[in-house]
Amino acid sequence: MKKNLFRFGLALATLFAVVACGDDADEKKDGPALPITSDVYVVGAGNWGDNNGSVYNLSVASVNIECVDIYRLQNGRGIGDAQDLAFADGKMFVACTTSSKVEVLDMYGKVVKSISMTNKDGDKDINVSPRYIAAGPEHKVYFTAYSGKLYKMDSQTYAVEDEVAVGDYPEALSIVNGKAYVNLSDYTAKGIGKSVAVVDLASFTKTGEIEVEVNPYNQSVVLGSDLYVVSNLVYDNVNPENNDNHLQCINTTNNAVEYLFPATSIAVDPTTNTLVCLYAVYGRSERTLFRYNPATKQQTPIADISALKSPSQVNVDPRTGNIYVIENASFDVPSTLYIYDSNGNCLKSGLQIGYGAQSVKFAR
């Protein structure tokens, strides 16, 4: 612990020194200074076409929480957009949709390798558009793409080794029991995206689909051997009060699906073997944060988040049980982060984390 605090303190002092140097710091040509570092990261998609996506790092120094866009600091440029992030072999793998690439970064945010993801159509390069990414066993990472495929990449050589067609507009994925489960969204809003594709990782073939409610999107987590997926249903522009999101549990042994209750975002809390659930549907005034215990089927309120305008994502620190809630109030302002302890006490509120923040990731 003392060693980590020393490292954080030294890195924080380095950052302050860079800020204090003003124009003198700009004249240095020996590369960017190291930012403060911890194992808590935030990935942000940014706004369309603005090249303001980000990979932020959060660090607790004394009573303050600092937040730094380490990608821009380390590489002197924007990442474009950053949709999702996974950790493998001591590196970060970032899926970038509009930029159609996978960026491999070291843990300080420095680019190790940038892999362009395009397919040839005659003389044209067609963007693959990577979406969500997850680390698997045996030095592999897997990512979905709007090409309708799931891809397998070696996390040591960065070679894309295989691909398999899973269905139109695949989004979030989870890996459990030697299989990848891929949400097939209703991106076209035609009411036809209503299943989770199953891919056997050993043969890398699609073995089937599990029907769920329409539009499973970006929420897919595993607790034990059960898979939890949120379906966003079909959005009603005329009567937004009719909109809802539904949480379902898939038994990965027999693929049975059980509807649980409305929720918009979910996260596993391994310190209590529970799910932390956020309910905040766009167009409705209700805002709740609660815990669900699969063993007892009980729901317990965690914290009052009624004052938040548009909370969109919840994540849980697997070591401490701290709860991170992202608020995306509008495209015109940066996203904000609220941090609670496991009992719902607010530790930090309104921390700016860039535009279009997608999720908080923990390198543990």
pLDDT digit string (tens) for 162-190?
A: 999 999 999 999 999 999 999 999 999 88
Question: What does the pLDDT read at residue 364?
Answer: 78
Structure tokens at 298: 């009980």
- Mean per-residue pLDDT, 283-310: 95
User: Under 8 Å CB-to-CB from 253, ≥6 apart: which residues?
Assistant: 225
Q: How much is the mean pLDDT over the chain?
A: 88
Q: Where are the alpha helices (DSSP H) in the chain?
A: 2-21, 23-26, 70-75
108 exposed, middle or buried (CB, 10 Å; 0-12, 13-18, 19+)?
middle
The predicted-structure confidence for 30-82, as pLDDT tens digits, reads as follows 445 555 568 999 999 999 888 899 999 997 655 577 888 999 999 999 999 99
Question: What does the pLDDT read at residue 240?
Answer: 62
The predicted-structure confidence for 129-150, as pLDDT tens digits, reads as follows 999 999 999 999 999 999 999 9
By three-state DSSP, how is residue 242 classified? helix
Neighbours of 25 (CB within 10 A): 13
Question: What does the pLDDT read at residue 65?
Answer: 79
Min mean pLDDT across 32-41, 249-258, 303-312 is at 32-41
Min mean pLDDT across 97-111, 202-216, 233-247 is at 233-247
The pLDDT-based confidence of 332 (bands split at 50, 70, 90) is confident
Question: Which residues, listed in sequence order, are joined to residue 251 by a DSSP beta bridge?
Answer: 226
Structure tokens at 214: 């329409």
The pLDDT-based confidence of 20 (bands split at 50, 70, 90) is very low
Question: What does the pLDDT read at residue 6?
Answer: 31
Tell me the C-alpha distance between 213 and 194, whole Å.
5
By three-state DSSP, how is residue 240 classified? helix
pTM of the model: 0.89
Structure tokens at 302: 């965690």
Tell me the C-alpha distance between 166 and 211, whole Å.
14
Question: Which residues, listed in sequence order, are joined to residue 12 by a DSSP beta bridge?
Answer: none
327 exposed, middle or buried (CB, 10 Å; 0-12, 13-18, 19+)?
buried
* pLDDT at residue 12 greater than cutoff 80: no
- Mean per-residue pLDDT, 206-221: 98
The pLDDT-based confidence of 11 (bands split at 50, 70, 90) is very low
* pLDDT at residue 296 greater than cutoff 80: yes
* pLDDT at residue 14 greater than cutoff 60: no
The pLDDT-based confidence of 8 (bands split at 50, 70, 90) is very low
Tell me the C-alpha distance between 166 and 199, whole Å.
8
Identity of the amino acid at 308: L
The pLDDT-based confidence of 17 (bands split at 50, 70, 90) is very low
Percent pLDDT > 90 in the chain is 77
Question: What does the pLDDT read at residue 35?
Answer: 56
Classify residue 144 as left (phi > 0), alpha (psi -120 to 50) or beta.
beta
Question: What does the pLDDT read at residue 354?
Answer: 92
Tell me the C-alpha distance between 217 and 247, whole Å.
11
Q: Order of strands across the sheet with 130-136?
A: 130-136, 140-145, 149-154, 160-165
